[in-house]
Amino acid sequence: MNKKVNTLLFLVAASLYNIIIMILIIVILLFFVSRFLPQHTSPAAASSIFIVVFILGIAGSFFIYHKTVRYLSRKIDMDKYFHPLFKKRK
């Protein structure tokens, strides 16, 4: 495989990893919210809580993804295996 195929496969795998982590975080947070939230919560409060859970899921997955890619870039010489996505300006 060449660098462009490696880059494409890395981007697809990284995107799937990020989406799976986000879904896991949202499901875990919704589980905890459903356990500790009273049963008679107003629909407005429940929708606000769901929005907060969704935003926390996105932020958490970004944080985990960022830490994972940073760890991989320290362990692997990315320039050796991947094609650069952006060219340097002159």
Backbone angles phi, psi at 2, to 5 degrees: -100, 180
Question: pLDDT by residue (tens digit) across 23-38?
Answer: 999 999 999 998 888 7
Q: What pLDDT is attached to residue 86?
A: 64
Whole-angstrom CA distances from 32 to 3, 13, 26, 29, 57 are 43, 29, 10, 5, 13
pLDDT bucket at 22, cuts 50 / 70 / 90: very high
Q: What is the reported pLDDT for 63?
A: 96
Q: How far is CA 14 from the centre of its chain?
A: 9
pTM: 0.79
More confident residue, 88 or 75: 75
Per-residue pLDDT, 57: 96
pLDDT, greater one: 54 or 43: 54
